Amino acid sequence: MTATTVNPKARRMGRTGRMLIALVVVALFLAYLSPVIWLVMSSFKNRVDIFTTSPTVFFKPTLDNYTVAFQDKGFGANLQNSVIIAVISSAVALLVGIPAAYRLSRHGSRFQGAFLLALLSARLLPAMVLSVPLFVLANKVGLSGTYLAVVAAHLTFAIPFTVWMMRGFFLAVPTSLDEAARLDGCSETAAFFRVVLPLTKGGIAATAIFLLINSWNEFLFALILTSRDTATLPVGIPNLLTPIGTFWGQIAAVATVTVVPICIFAFAVQKYMVAGLTGGALANE
């Protein structure tokens, strides 16, 4: 909102008043984000600094947790699995979802309402409900523990998400534009590729990033459908909570590596956050 709507009291405050507000806001957010800060700090601590009854704020940083986790304990492979599964499932979802979303945004058909409703119900479907049949089916056809099984499971939420998101972006492109292209002799496909697609590049990028984040963060499907060789990062981390002791330093290191890429990605699509978090149900603004 613009400055005109800021209440008069705030306007009356001087420079010191505003500084004070800024300080309070920063302090509140530091406290609010302290669990994250603490996790990242702990990933650079040695055992002695982690296992203390009063928190250690100053310590000599070490990279030991990272080297042990990623070199000796094989979390490099988990990282690789996470990347493979996220990239493949996002790519397939875009390939299938974008044309479907375009159709839905252009052709008002009788089935459109029903189709959108079905997509919405698919979004409401708890992962737990699909996990049982997917597990049994994957075992029956011998796909259990393969990338394909997890990718298919991730598509159950990735495709509906893509269609909803992209439909919003396509609806924002006036139909008159593709009609003009059609009049100039473009086929429907050509009109889509030459006119509509370039206009929705930003939206596609945002959708792709949300797809990557969603697949990357997913836990239940990956837990029941992967084997030791195909386990993603979220599935691998709880293995460090063992009955003989919990390797908190290494957990913190792997967790940090898990969340850093998605944080970078998320800030790139901050503008589309509300749309992304509501799966495109709210306007893409």
Partner 1 sequence: MLGLVVLFPLAYSIKLSFQSYSPIIPNHTGQWVGMDNYQRILHDGDFHHSLIVTAIFVVVAVSLETVLGVVVGIAIDRLRRMRRFATSALLLPMILTPLVVGLMFNFALNAQFGYLTWVFNTLHVAGGDGVLNGSVGALVALIFIDVWEWFPFVALMVVAGLQTIPKEPLEAASIDGASTRQVYWHITLPLLRPILGIAILFRATEAIREFDKVFVLTGGGPGSATAVNDLYQYRVSFLNWDLSYGAALGLVTFAAVLALSFLMYRSLRRKETAR
The interface with partner 1 within residues 9-38 (CB under 8 A) comprises: 9-10, 18, 21-22, 25-26, 29, 32-36, 38
Q: Where are the beta strands (DSSP E) in the chain?
A: 241-242, 245-246
Given a contact cutoff of 8 angstroms between Cβ atoms, the answer to whether 200 and 169 are in contact is: yes
Distance CA 284, CA 172 (A): 9
Stretch that binds partner 1, among 64-72, 102-110, 117-125, 172-180 (CB under 8 A): 117-125
Nearer of residues 26 and 177 to partner 1, judged by Cβ:
26
Q: Which of 79, 208, 251, 253 binds partner 1 (CB under 8 A)?
A: 251
Asked if residues 181 and 194 have their Cβ atoms less than 8 Å apart, the reply is yes
The reply on whether position 139 binds partner 1 by CB under 8 A is yes
Q: How many residues bind partner 1 (CB under 8 A)?
A: 82
At its nearest, how many Å lie between partner 1 and the CB of residue 63?
A: 19
Identify which of residues 174 and 238 has a Cβ nearer to partner 1 in the complex.
Answer: 238
102 binds partner 1 (CB under 8 A): no
Scanning residues 177 to 206, which ones bind partner 1 (CB under 8 A)? none
The DSSP bridge partners found for residue 156 are none
Report, in angstroms and rounded to the nearest whole number, the Rg of the chain calculated over CA atoms. 24
Residue 91 found at the interface with partner 1 (CB under 8 A): no
Distance separating alpha carbons of residues 122 and 103, to the nearest angstrom = 19
Cβ(24)–Cβ(30) below 8 Å: no
CB of 51 to partner 1, least distance (A): 5
Nearer to partner 1, 195 or 233 (CB): 233
Give me the helices (H) in 125-247, please: 127-140, 147-171, 175-183, 188-191, 197-199, 201-217, 220-225, 233-236
Q: Looking at beta carbons only, is 195 or 275 nearer to partner 1?
A: 275
Tell me the closest approach of the beta carbon of residue 202 to partner 1, in angstroms.
18
Establish if 224 lies at the interface with partner 1 (CB under 8 A): yes
H or E element that contains 112: helix 110-124
Q: Is 242 in the site for partner 1 (CB under 8 A)?
A: no
